[in-house]
């Protein structure tokens, strides 16, 4: 059984809790400093305007939430180093606040006694692991890991499959990303000019680091990927357009075949595949990081292709968070057992 703590009970934090309920994972504690009302946390968890109502039990009980009989302690600390995770036996803390993406800040997540921390977001100095790409390289000695961004997780599987099979000479990526909680409902004073404009009145260009982050886990693509993201006025589900120049000649039929095979085997559960005439709401609730849209792609010549992939930027990403925690736990158990075995052998020699 994995014992989780969640730091930040926003869109991703709440989705992680919902998905954890469906798995063999137990959330023991939540830290949400933006409200002192536990009843409100129960309400906002139960009533989701995007994903629908949670029909299980979700009620406040003093300083705790009771979710389907699972008692979750609620803390309200702005400084996560003050959260006593150890008091609730939390092993892994997931930071879904988006505020602790550098190592110095992320270290605060471990001060309360948790063993490991998983950071939801891009980081310059925390190692990034993506399911299906490099997660098997995770070492139990690492205390803090990053999962990158949702669009990093969407692009990486397709980029790896294509690069391994055909080689990628270059790729131009455009992401149409749904509104996020950090945007403004109406024009407001802010630090970023464009993102200070009304989210539901505008299509807003941004220049994210998420695409370049793919090269951290697929070094062969360094200086070969360029991308832009547009925030669009939809509540959830995003889409990625990839214009790729391959090194080897092939056909669109073969490209589809290779991606489909990967989706059914090595990347099962991470990469999806569809030939349906789908639109964004058809992917609401998809647990895949990336769903390749075979019917939307095009071929310009044997080396140049335009590809399309969809992703539920909340459910897909949150699913990978839990997959990563589960893998970490498995590897950490193996490491502990190996350490105990070595210790016993030493005693036997003595």
Specify the pTM. 0.95
Beta 290-293 vs 304-311: how paired, if at all? antiparallel
List the pLDDT tens digit at each of the 350 positions of the chain: 899 999 999 999 999 999 999 997 999 999 999 988 999 999 999 999 999 999 999 999 999 999 999 999 999 999 999 999 999 999 999 999 999 999 999 999 999 999 999 999 999 999 999 999 999 999 999 999 999 999 999 999 999 999 999 999 999 999 999 999 889 999 999 889 999 999 999 999 998 788 999 999 999 999 999 999 999 999 999 999 999 999 999 999 999 999 999 999 999 999 999 999 999 999 999 999 999 999 999 999 999 999 999 999 999 999 999 999 999 999 999 999 988 888 888 777 76
CATH of domain 2-120+317-342: 3.40.50.720
Confirm or deny that 134 is annotated as ligand binding: no
**Residue 7: left (phi > 0), alpha (psi -120 to 50), or beta?**
beta
First to last CA, the chain: 35
Q: ∠ at Cα 80 (74, 85), nearest 5°? A: 55
* pLDDT at 350 (0 to 100): 67
* pLDDT at 1 (0 to 100): 85
Confirm or deny that 168 is annotated as ligand binding: no
Q: Is 120 a catalytic residue?
A: no
Nearest to 158 by CA among 281, 253, 47, 243: 243
Residue 145 CA to residue 138 CA, distance in Å, equals 9
Confirm or deny that 334 is annotated as ligand binding: no
Q: Looking at 120, 150, 151, 154, which residue is catalytic? A: 150
* pLDDT at 343 (0 to 100): 83
Domain limits, CATH 3.30.360.10, in the chain: 150-313
* pLDDT at 300 (0 to 100): 98
Query: Is residue 93 within 8 Å of 310, Cβ to Cβ?
Result: no
Residue 214 CA to residue 138 CA, distance in Å, equals 17
* pLDDT at 348 (0 to 100): 78
* pLDDT at 177 (0 to 100): 98
Domain limits, CATH 3.40.50.720, in the chain: 2-120+317-342
Neighbours of 69 (CB within 10 A): 7
Confirm or deny that 194 is annotated as ligand binding: no
CATH of domain 150-313: 3.30.360.10
């Amino acid at each position: 059984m994995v014992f989780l703590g969640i730091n930040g009970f926003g869109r991703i934090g709440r989705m992680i809790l919902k998905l954890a309920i469906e798995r063999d994972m137990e959330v023991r504690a939540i830290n949400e400093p933006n409200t002192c009302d536990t009843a409100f946390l129960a309400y906002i968890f139960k009533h989701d305007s995007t994903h629908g109502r949670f029909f299980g039990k979700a009620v406040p009980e003093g300083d705790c939430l009771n979710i389907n009989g699972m008692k979750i302690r609620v803390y309200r600390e702005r400084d996560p180093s003050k959260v006593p995770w150890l008091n609730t036996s939390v092993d892994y803390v997931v930071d879904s606040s988006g505020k602790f993406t550098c190592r110095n800040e992320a270290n605060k997540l471990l001060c309360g006694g948790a063993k490991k921390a998983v950071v939801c977001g891009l980081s310059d100095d925390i190692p990034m692991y993506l399911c299906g790409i490099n997660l098997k390289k995770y070492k139990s000695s690492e205390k803090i890991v990053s999962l990158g961004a949702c669009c990093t997780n969407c692009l990486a599987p397709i980029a790896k499959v294509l690069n391994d099979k055909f080689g990628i000479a270059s790729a131009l990526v455009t992401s149409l990303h749904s509104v996020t909680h950090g945007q403004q409902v109406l024009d407001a004073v802010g630090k970023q000019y464009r993102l200070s404009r009304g989210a539901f009145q505008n299509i807003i260009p941004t220049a994210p680091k998420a695409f370049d982050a793919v090269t951290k886990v697929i070094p062969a693509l360094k200086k070969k990927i360029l991308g832009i993201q547009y925030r669009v006025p939809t509540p959830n589900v995003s889409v990625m357009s990839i214009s790729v120049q391959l090194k080897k000649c092939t056909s669109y039929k073969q490209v589809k075949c290779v991606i489909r095979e990967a989706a059914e085997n090595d990347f099962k559960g991470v990469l999806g595949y569809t030939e349906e005439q789908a639109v964004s709401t058809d992917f609401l609730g998809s647990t895949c990081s990336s769903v390749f849209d075979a019917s939307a792609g095009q071929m310009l010549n044997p080396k140049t292709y335009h590809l399309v992939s969809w992703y539920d930027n909340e459910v897909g990403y949150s699913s990978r968070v839990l997959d990563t925690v589960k893998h970490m736990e498995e590897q950490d158990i193996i490491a502990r057992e190996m350490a105990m075995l070595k210790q016993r052998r030493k005693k036997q020699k003595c």
